[in-house]
Amino acid sequence: MMKIEFVRSIVIGLMAATAIGAAPAAANPALLFDVNTGAVIEHQDAFKRWHPASLTKLMTAYTAFRAVQAGELALDSPIKVSKKAASMPPSKMGYKPGSVLTLDNAIKIIMVKSANDIAAAIGENVGGSQEAFADRMNAEAQRLGMADSHWVNANGLHEPDQYTTARDLAILVRAIRLEFPQYASYFNIEGIVAGKKKLKNFNPLVGRFPGTDGMKTGFVCESGFNLIASATRDGRTLAAIVLGAGSPDDRAEEAAELLQGGFGRTGSSVTVAGLAPYGDDRAIATSMREQVCSPKAKAVASDGPAPTEAGAAPEKAEAGKAEASVAPEKVSIIPEMTRERVWVAVALGGANGPVPKALAGRDPVEYADVPLPTWRPDMPAPDGAAPAVEAQATKVRS
């Protein structure tokens, strides 16, 4: 009996990989599904390991939502930016160490600006440390059935051991949308205002492609350009996952085309959770660095600067100019925005909620990088003071 069931599972897996709109294996991973039912509409390389880049921030948000649900903190709880968090490379807000903002504003910022410093701060405050938060992310992923995902940090900065799959990300999307519908507004913010800065959402479908209500972009050289886009029409919500696209335009157009076609089709009987694993070498995470970040790739794709979440614009460029545009020779199915963009204000302060449970009772002291004073070797140290050699050894150990 068990042998029959095993054979049946293999047959179902092969049918799923060929009958549900499966595309050629040479293409980048993609998955289109119904968020409410979980029904798979189209997929390709759904079990191929991929570096998530800033799609990681969806896992960060979900883990934070779970902590709020457990009563460990609230949306108005303080998120303090540590020296370590502030040191994260761009994209970032650049707040000084010691700055405090609410969890609510922190989540808005990581969903729109994809700020690595703020994502790291969320991890430290919710988990107690970035390492402890990564452990919680992995525990949540395992509980959800994300069988081939591993998390190392909260922001998606590249780590070889941080990977996921399109199928696992689909499980995460469903968990966020179905378990926490009250937080849906975090994922379709068109732009934020932070002081004098106006920062557009890196996802060009938001506010432009009809029905779009989420969710997140991601980019590091190793991942290529990633996007999870969701849209709701006539009460039906679909989500498209696109991994490893060659440019911001490509990921946006591919996601829009998947969604557009999906609303005219019905899902299969195979669900995201029931999709059988398939594909060769799926346990090896692909690197897109050569395709998108090598000198040759940059010469072909742009006129110089290394690509970022928003395209080829340098991080220091004005954020309002960073939104990806479609090349003139291409015909886009994403309409231009013909109305005023809706902006949401974010700011430091206002954190009147309870201190996160992970930090309750302790206030970590962060010391400046000031060398410890030592006594000159040719002079005797006063009573009780460490000799120069011992003091220097202490400094190195710390």
> Which tokens belong to 32?
């289109």
CA of residue 338 relative to chain centroid, distance = 29
For residue 264, is it within any domain?
yes
**Residue 364, domain member (yes or no):** no
- CA 311, 316, 317, 318 torsion: positive or negative? positive
CATH code where residue 116 lies: 3.40.710.10
Domain that holds residue 195: 2-359
Sheet with strand 191-194: strands edge to edge: 197-200, 191-194, 343-346
Query: DSSP 3-state assignment of 271?
Result: strand
Is residue 18 scored above 50 in pLDDT? no
Counted residue by residue, the chain has a size of: 398
Co-location of 175 and 274 in the same domain? yes
Residue 365: inside a domain, yes or no?
no
Residue type, 391: A
pTM of this structure: 0.81
Same domain, 12 and 143: yes
| Residue 295 reports pLDDT greater than 90 | no
The number of domains in the chain is: 2
Residue 200 has φ and ψ, to the nearest 5°, of -80, 155
Same domain, 16 and 74: yes
Identify whether the C-beta of residue 286 lies closer than 8 Å to the C-beta of residue 220.
Answer: no
- Joined together, the tokens standing for residue 391 give 């003091």
Is residue 106 domain-shared with residue 208, that is, in the same domain? yes
Residue 358 confidence class, pLDDT cut points 50, 70, 90: very high
Averaged pLDDT, 96-105: 98
pLDDT of residue 299: 52
Residue-wise pLDDT tens digits, 46-91 = 999 999 999 999 999 999 999 999 999 999 999 999 999 999 999 9
- 157/398: higher pLDDT: 157
Q: Is the pLDDT of residue 347 over 90?
A: yes
Cα 153 from Cα 147, distance rounded (Å) = 18
> What's the pLDDT tens digit per position in 202-226?
999 999 999 999 999 999 999 999 9
Q: Which helix (H) or strand (E) holds 103?
A: helix 103-112
Contact 257, 23 (CB under 8 A): no
116-127 and 130-144 helices, crossing angle to 10°: 80
Beta-carbon count within 10 A of 38 CB: 18
For residues 376-381, give the mean pLDDT: 52
Residue 147, in any domain of the structure = yes
User: What local confidence, expressed as pLDDT, does residue 31 receive?
Assistant: 98
289/379 same-domain check? no
